[in-house]
Amino acid sequence: MAIVHGAVENDSATATRRSSAVLPWRRILARVVSGAVVLWAAVTIAFFTLQAIPGDIADILAGEQTYPGLKEAISAEWGLDESVFTQYLAFLGRLVTGDLGTSYVQRQPVADLLAAQVWSTIELAVVAGVVSALLAVVLAVVSIGRSRVVRSAMSTLELVFTSVPTFWVGILLLMLFSFQWRLFPVAGANGWQSLVLPVVTLALPTAGFLAQVIRESMERTLTEPFIVTVRSRGVSESLVLLRHALGHALLPVMTLVGGIIGALLGGAVITETVFGRPGIGTITLNAVTGKDIPVVIAVVLFAALIYVVVSTVLDILYTIVDPRLRAQR
Amino acid sequence: MNHRHSARPRLALGALVASAALVLTGCASGPAASSDDDDDATPVTGGSVTWGVSVEPVCYNPQRSGQQNSYPIIRNFAESLVGKDSAGEYTPWLADSWEISDDGLTYDVHLREGVTFSDGTVFDAAAVKANLDFVADPANAAAAGTGLTNFSGATVVDASTVELTLESPDAAFLDTLASITTAILSPASLALPDNDLCAATSDLVGTGPFVLSDYQAGQEISFEANEDYDWAPGYAAHEGRAYLDSVTYRFLPEATVRTGALTSEQVDIIEGVQVTDTALFQDQPGYRYETGPSTGTAFSLNINTRIAPADDVRVRQALRDGFDLDALVENQYLGTVERAFSSIGPDSPFYDADLEDSWGNDVDGANELLDEAGWTDRDGDGYREKDGVRLTIVVGYPEPYIRDQRDVLLQAVQAQVKENIGLELDVQSTTSAQFTDELAKATWTVYPNTLPTSDPSILFRSIFGSEGFLYAKAPEAALDDLIAQSRETSDPAERKKAFDEIQQTVVDDARYIPLYHPVYTVASTDLVHGIAFEPQLNSPSNSYDLWTSK
């Protein structure tokens, strides 16, 4: 809500009301189409990368499995005796119908494998995302307008959060809170206790990075003329910070959400490994070490899908939220 | 050294005397004493134990899984016809006894009576036939099929007798029957749709001492004791149901996390102890530390004898002798593993002990060999040259197979042979697809690998035979005759003769440079008792003999 308020004050109220009746359909359509193109490109690159790897495709897809009858089964499923273009069309066709292929190492449909564990990763990533956002806001708001010493101390802390490897943070947290003080369990996904350490591990780097963006943006906003207007109305300084400066600062953050999702998914691979949690990260690691290529391809495409969907939806929301963009349709 | 003491006392049948003797030697040698003492304690039935294991199995079907680390878990519910003890002898298990015809082509197998699958189905000759026929049929794409290439069929004689016939005599056939890959599953499990065969579900049913109770992918798998179980293998330490009421395996891929989980008592026993953490558990009060036997192939360099400069036997021998392997292995693994002299592990009855101290660390000799081979010039970096070409041998190590810091060991070898003999050992990490490709074109140069244990005939067939992967394109280099000889006779002395000759040949002409013998390591709190290793696998046994005094 803060975002809407901030935006409204920036423009004339009448203009906002008039255009809010009509959504920027052309822009939304363009965004959806470009999202689809990105997805298609990801699928295409994945397919042709597989073709480019030295070695027989059936061998690559089979991983280490060499038992009799397997290559024939793979050939049949992937249509390996057809032309590359026919294989490509069939691959696209299967993906469109939600068929992610078969894992020959695990002898299961890849879609089932992912579906069984995806919620654990989503739970971890969403909670970590929320925690990092809250932490970032607190860090930014607390440090703004303070002395140079305080600000640079906070900034250093954020840099440390951003730059220490996730793996190391995870092990360190485990050593202190699980092995030493035994406050939280080492591994698994049983109850909230087992979520605490992985969430903190995953949230810290994102929080550090976000806090820097938010503070810089808030500082810039505070120099804008409308803040003078707000202050002149006698609004308290904390309200100026929280409602107006922060509201505006969150707009640039929205554009970063795609990258943040990527960081959370990437970090989840390491976090899940360290904490022995089920999830996409664990699937990915097992697939890479087990050379379970159909699963690796599916994970890549899944990551691309999440990224495209999230950034498209955010972009559309962004257009709706920020009336300045609507004028450009 | 521990494993020689630790593996044997678990042998129940007829080994009690030997076991007592080993306990004494264990005490005398010091370090192993603490764990051996406990064998006198009376086992307690009940309680549960939690493992921290390094690898989450991708497949729980014994007939399909190719993953070493999946076997100790699968063994809790899946059992074989034949057991194999640590002396390499075959013991009864689901089969009470067997008779082999004089021509070695027919096996009359008498099954144990009163055995049931945990779904209630009776274990009988028909179930055995269904399993072996299923596994041997290429259409079923079972990993186990490769061990049954000689198998021609099974006939049900009566409910508890099955006759197995072979196409040619095969001394490794009992080993195949003892293998986890021919474990007997409930016939209903065989009929599962192809895509459900690997999943850990209640549909995957065996005869084992434990029954699956819970599985959370990516996290853990739990089993409960099978109350009716009364058909333990001949090598087990007790009979009747498992001591434990339940056992859980938690998947903790990070070595540091496994260590921390054990020291903070969140798990009771871990597998895959990091070398640097050994000191936390070995000989420490409150803990046990055990290492498994080594009967598989050594971690070793397989050298392609058809590609220059390694096509010259003198260059290969110079590489073999150009570094101090004892020091490098000790330095890297801090005494947790043994330096290798031969291609198979020292705990195998077919290990050729004559090779010990017969090669390695002869820098002067290695330099002479290289001089003799014409590599007399030196380039600016100190490497030897011939006709302006540097003495370089590429080692392509497929990245997915790198573990236990084996790449670091190879880098240490690389540094020493540069320094000692001016040979450039170019250690590269490659992809497995690249290796598959090089294999198909026979352009691989040096391939570092180790094979999990099996009958040496099968191991040597895979490495040195023309049907195996490395010499498939060079039948003239293969040792097919010796391998066939070792497989056709069932006389252990005859077999040993053939195996010795293979072991000596490959080290003598340095097509194969053994480096060290990998072993499984286990650490636990001292409240866990009955830790054992399964000789057919070298890995920790299932949890049947484990008990806890928690």
Contacts of B404 (CB under 8 A, 6+ apart): B275, B518
Specify which of A152-161, B25-34, B388-397, B444-453 reaches the highest per-range mean pLDDT: B388-397
- Put simply, the chain A residues between 89 and 108 with a CB less than 8 A from any chain B CB are 102, 105-108
Residue A8: the pLDDT is 41
- Put simply, the chain B residues between 122 and 181 with a CB less than 8 A from any chain A CB are 138-143, 145-146
Chain A CB within 8 Å of residue B220 CB: yes
How close A291 gets to chain B, by Cα (Å)? 8
Residue B1: the pLDDT is 36
Residues from chain A contacting residue B216 (CB–CB below 8 Å): 188-189, 278
Residue B304: the pLDDT is 92
CB-nearest partner of A292 from B58, B195, B199: B58
Taking residues B223-232, what's their average pLDDT?
96
In degrees rounded to 5, what are phi and psi of residue B61? Answer: -90, 115
CB contact under 8 Å between A106 and B59, yes or no, is yes
Residue in chain A closest to B260 (alpha carbons) equals A179
Beta strands B220-225; B210-216: pairing state? antiparallel
How close B73 gets to chain A, by Cα (Å)? 16
Residues from chain A contacting residue B138 (CB–CB below 8 Å): 67-69
% of chain B surpassing 90 pLDDT: 63
CB contact under 8 Å between A290 and B64, yes or no, is no
How far is it, in rounded angstroms, from Cα B199 to Cα B75?
A: 15
Q: Three-state DSSP class for B446? A: strand
Name the pLDDT band for B379 (thresholds 50, 70, 90): very high
CA-based end-to-end distance of chain A: 24
Token pair of B59 as six digits: 């497949």
Taking residues A284-312, what's their average pLDDT?
84
Lowest mean pLDDT among A22-31, B102-111, B244-253: A22-31
Residue A2: the pLDDT is 40
How far is it, in rounded angstroms, from Cα B284 to Cα B70?
A: 29
CB-nearest partner of B141 from A67, A274, A291: A67
CB-nearest partner of A274 from B143, B257, B437: B257
Asked if B142 and A107 touch (Cβ cutoff 8 Å), the reply is: no
Condensed to tens digits (0 to 9), the pLDDT of residues B161-213 reads 999 999 999 988 998 999 998 999 999 998 877 666 788 888 899 999 999 99
CB-nearest partner of B253 from A105, A276, A292: A276
Angle between helices A246-275 and A110-143 in degrees, nearest 10? 130
Of B15 and B193, the one with more pLDDT: B193
Contacts of A307 (CB under 8 A, 6+ apart): A258, A261, A262
- Is pLDDT of B35 > 50? no
CB-nearest partner of B199 from A108, A175, A276: A108
Asked if A272 and B218 touch (Cβ cutoff 8 Å), the reply is: yes
How far is it, in rounded angstroms, from Cα A274 to Cα A42?
A: 29
Question: Which residue, B35, B38, B6, B1, is CA-closest to B22?
Answer: B6
- DSSP alpha helices (H): ranges in chain A? 2-10, 13-20, 25-52, 57-62, 70-78, 84-96, 110-143, 148-163, 166-173, 193-222, 225-232, 237-239, 246-275, 280-289, 293-321, 323-326
Residue B194: the pLDDT is 65
Name the pLDDT band for A222 (thresholds 50, 70, 90): confident
Condensed to tens digits (0 to 9), the pLDDT of residues B42-77 reads 899 999 999 999 888 888 999 888 778 899 999 999
Residues from chain A contacting residue B197 (CB–CB below 8 Å): 107
Residue carrying structure tokens 């369990």: A185
- Is pLDDT of A23 > 80? no
Token pair of B306 as six digits: 């058809």
Name the pLDDT band for B144 (thresholds 50, 70, 90): low
- Is pLDDT of A306 > 70? yes
CB contact under 8 Å between B433 and A174, yes or no, is no
CA distances, A282 to each of A44, A104, B55, B114, B399 (Å): 25, 18, 11, 42, 19
How far is it, in rounded angstroms, from Cα A320 to Cα A329?
A: 11
- Is pLDDT of B476 > 80? no
% of chain A surpassing 70 pLDDT: 87
Q: Three-state DSSP class for A92? A: helix
How far is it, in rounded angstroms, from Cα B385 to Cα B286?
A: 57
Residues from chain B contacting residue A282 (CB–CB below 8 Å): 56, 217-218, 251
CB contact under 8 Å between A179 and B261, yes or no, is yes
CB contact under 8 Å between B436 and A59, yes or no, is yes
How close A28 gets to chain B, by Cα (Å)? 39
